[in-house]
Amino acid sequence: MPKPLPRQTMMLSRYILLILLTLPMLTAQAEDDASNIDPWEPFNRKMYVFNDTLDRWVLKPTARGYKFILPDFAQQGVTNFITNIYDFNSFFNSIFQGEFAGSANAGGRFLINSTLGLLGVLDVATEMGIEPFHADFGQTLAVWGVESGPFVMMPVIGPRTVRSTVGYFADTYSSIPALINDNPIAWTFWTVEIIDYRARLLDAEDLMTGDRYIFLRDAYLSRREFFVTRGEVEDDFSDFDRNAEDWEEF
């Protein structure tokens, strides 16, 4: 097992400090823009065009090649492996949220699938009746009383809110690949994660109608609200949100 290194501790400390410094700004921004969830629409639309171009020329062709090369069972194994990695984050975020039963589920799934499930490639925990319990740091911030802030279209990872953007990077850089202290491993994992997710969205594109930017924005905000409040989620095509309740149901 890789040993924790001082550089890892320094990295995590910096991100924690960044989060703590960002919280007051999030709340203030949310109060200023409470009447307008998308005050940055001109910038967001330009970023959407960038993402759409990147998707058309790079991500979609790569995702199609991924689906062509890998059989269905192998693709499911990759998805299971990625989900298992983030069960580690769900375990800690559930504790931060006071969801102790959920943390037991997430932690139990991680231990069982990491061992009996061959590092998570097989979802043995679900077969044993241990249901997924997903939690991310953006949701944790919401439980702590931090407002969502305005909508923002991020490069590559797509639609977000200010709060979920902070949560995304906090989860990313506190995930197991980031803690291993091996950049090639971490970047390979994150690249495969994006390709796997994009491949599972290929069949959902026909659901998008009208102004695609508005569709993505409204679908994301609706879905994110359901996730944060632990409601029922049905729009599993709306964003790159690795911890949504229906993560495994593509």
Residue 92 to residues 81, 96, 130, 174, Cα–Cα distance (Å): 18, 6, 17, 10
- Which is more confident, 133 or 234? 133
Separation CA 109–CA 104 (nearest Å): 8
Q: Which of 14-23, 53-62, 214-223 has the lowest mean pLDDT?
A: 14-23
Task: Supply 98's token pair.
Answer: 């006071």
Residue 24 backbone zone (phi > 0: left; psi -120 to 50: alpha; other: beta): alpha
Q: Rounded to whole angstroms, how far apart are CA atoms 25 and 6?
A: 29
103 has a pLDDT exceeding 60: yes
Rounded Cα distance between 228 and 221, Å, is 10
Spell out a b/e string for 139-159, using b for 16 or more CB atoms within 10 Å of the CB, else e.
Answer: bbbbeeebbbbbbbbbeebbb
What is the model's pLDDT at position 36?
83
Specify the pLDDT at position 182.
Answer: 79
Say if residues 137 and 242 touch (Cβ distance below 8 Å).
no
Average pLDDT, the chain: 85
Which of the two residues, 238 and 61, has the higher pLDDT score?
A: 61
Nearest CA to 217 out of 86, 30, 21, 39 is that of: 39
User: Coil, strand or helix: which one is 24?
Assistant: helix
Q: Rounded to an integer, what distance in angstroms lies between the CA atom of residue 141 and that of residue 135?
A: 11
Whether 153 contacts 47, CB under 8 Å: yes
**What is the C-alpha to C-alpha distance for residues 236 and 123, in angstroms, rounded to an integer?**
20
Section 71-80 average pLDDT: 96
Question: What is the Cα–Cα distance from 92 to 23, expressed in whole angstroms?
Answer: 19
pTM of the predicted model, to two decimals? 0.81
pLDDT tens track for 180-235: 887 899 999 999 999 999 999 888 777 777 899 999 999 999 999 999 998 744 44
What is the average pLDDT across 136-142? 97
Residue 43 has pLDDT above 50, yes or no: yes
C-beta pairs of 15-23 under 8 Å, 24+ apart in sequence: 15/169, 15/170, 15/173, 15/174, 19/137, 19/166, 19/170, 22/166, 23/141, 23/146
Q: Which residue in the block uniquely carries the two structure tokens 């910096």? A: 14
